[in-house]
Amino acid sequence: MNRDHTRKPGEAIFALILAAISLVALWQAYGISGFEALSAPGSFPMAVAAIMFVSALMIAIKTLRAAPAGGGFIYGVVPPFAALMAFLLLLYAVALVPLGFLPTSLIFLTISIMALHKRGFVRAFGISLVSLVVIYIVFRLVFTVLMPEGIVPEREILAFFRNLMAGGAE
């Protein structure tokens, strides 16, 4: 068993939240039938919730007494790369409707693959483009999922290819 006497970032907050939740569970169990009798419907849930609360309280006290580990809360809980990806996803969600699915996804995939793969822009762009074409064919053309059109005139392009396949040209 690990006998580390330092607490990790966020561990004290988690221990306190756990104790608070177990106290709420104890209160809810008390609300079933109170302290009527040992054979009352709420006696077993109250006993379990009381044990849970005492255990959580002991863990919280032990955790609060431990020396904090270095590194800081934000860095320990959300590593920089995870924060970057969350930020990119937020930007993707914001830009999806005004720009549309195709350009937003191409930019998001290129930046993400560059960050993950670390092989350069041209390679990341190529992988993103191939991936986006496959995704587009599967979801838009095969399953006919509607995606935000944005700045790319998607309907006109699809109509052109349909006419081309039908034998007529515009």
| The predicted structure's pLDDT at residue 71 | 66
Rounded to the nearest angstrom, the gap between the alpha carbon of residue 151 and the centroid of all alpha carbons in its chain is 28
Backbone angles phi, psi at 123, to 5 degrees: -65, -45
3-state secondary structure of 170: coil
Q: Is the dihedral of CA 9, 11, 17, 21 positive or negative?
A: positive
Q: What is the pLDDT of residue 80?
A: 85
pLDDT at residue 1, rounded to an integer: 47
- Alpha-helical runs (H) found in the chain: 11-33, 43-65, 73-77, 80-99, 101-117, 121-136, 154-166
pLDDT in 10s for each residue of the chain, 170 residues:
456 678 888 888 999 999 999 999 999 999 998 878 888 888 899 999 999 999 999 999 999 999 887 766 677 777 888 889 999 999 999 999 999 999 999 999 999 999 999 889 999 999 999 999 999 999 988 898 888 989 999 888 888 888 888 875 55
Say what the pLDDT of residue 61 is.
Answer: 95
This prediction's pTM: 0.60
- Residues 87-113, buried b or exposed e (16+ Cβ, 10 A)? eeeeebeebbeebbbbebbbbbbbbbb
Task: List the structure tokens of 95.
Answer: 């830009």
